[in-house]
Structure 1
Amino acid sequence: MRGLALTLAIFVALTATGLLAFRMLPVPITPLMLVRLIQGEGLARDWTALDDVSPALVRAVIASEDARFCSHNGFDWVEIEEAWTTWRTGGRLRGASTISMQTARSVFLWPGRDPLRKGLEAVLTVPLEVLWPKRRILEVYLNVAEWGPGVYGAQAAARHHFDRDAAALDGRQAALLTAILPAPRSWSAARPGSHVRGVAGTIQARARQVPLGDNNTPCPRP
């Protein structure tokens, strides 16, 4: 029990420090990056300010990953209820993670799908939403998301898949990159199959409805 308490205390201290530090500083590495690096996949990333990411990619990610990003406080209860209803009526259990939840998970937690990790993800999402503005949450997410074997963040993804900077991505390229986020090590944005092309078309259409403020600031005020 003493060892468990010590482990928990260390985890809480490190997480609290990270929540405060990463509100301003770039995230140097995530647990997933470290695991993949040990597995020999390499590490390609280039921290990029949100200002230097194509607005098309910002809109596409919000449209696809978290359409209610601006209206929730970390948890999309509408999506959670729909996922629960689908499962109870015999459908496939699907995720309902928001961008905030995915950011908390990516920055602080180990890869996997175990219940403990899912519970900690929910716990960490609360202070993340309190301490970080929506703009910072989105900026960090776009810099730590996995976009291929050893490829992390929007800039590395744009270079890897399209040989251009993240700022230069057009609407179709942004939609293709967003479409492969659920399985970035299996799907390719540069050589998309029919499924990825179809999903990208839907994302591109929805992305046009996502409002952005100056310098890609999400959730602009009227």
Structure 2
Amino acid sequence: MQPTELDRSKKNSNRLVAGVCLAFFGGMVGMAYAAVPLYEMFCRVTGYGGTTQRVEQFADRVLDRQITVRFDANVAGVPWDFKPTQRAITMNIGETAQAHYTATNTFSIPTGGRATFNVTPELAGAYFNKVECFCFTDTTLKPGETLDMPVLFYVDPDIEDVPELKNVKTITLSYTFFPIEAEKPVAAAPLAGEGTNETTTQGKLGG
């Protein structure tokens, strides 16, 4: 039986609806992926969610008020022994201080990681300024290798002007290392005289 004009119209309508749904789904997925770096950038700029600030200059004044900065270390899927070399530093607000973390690869092959960070209380993130740090940097360690990771920072004296933080005596700086994906092996071009089926591959773990 030949399809009627009505049947063909329904099929075209169904295809149109399906196409719109697929386009909408694809757009939502794309927005979700784009939202990750945008959210990260937003947090860096505003200090939202306890995200610390990255600066290139030091404080222009030091207050006669001390604050204690505690250090926390975590791993999420990385076979490393990651820890601070000291648990806390007591310093004046506006004073520049340096802390050190160490990471040791306890696995039998090279492994890579990338650190994210935050501070608590979260509102203090906008006033915790890092001049030097290892965050958001791909790091690869050989089996048994230990790496020293310094952090140079200060607490912005403007924190005194925030009523909710005026009496804060302790800030916690926390880092978490996540694994970084290995690059896919890349086939090398065959040398002259070699068969086209003979290729070598190279790859590295951890970026």
TM over 0.5: no
Greater share of residues in helix: 1
- TM-score tier by shorter-chain length is under 0.3
Q: Which has the larger radius of gyration?
A: 2
TM-score, normalized by length of structure 2? 0.22
Greater share of residues in strand: 2
Structure of greater relative contact order (alpha carbons < 8 Å, 6+ residues apart): 1
TM-score, normalized by length of structure 1? 0.21
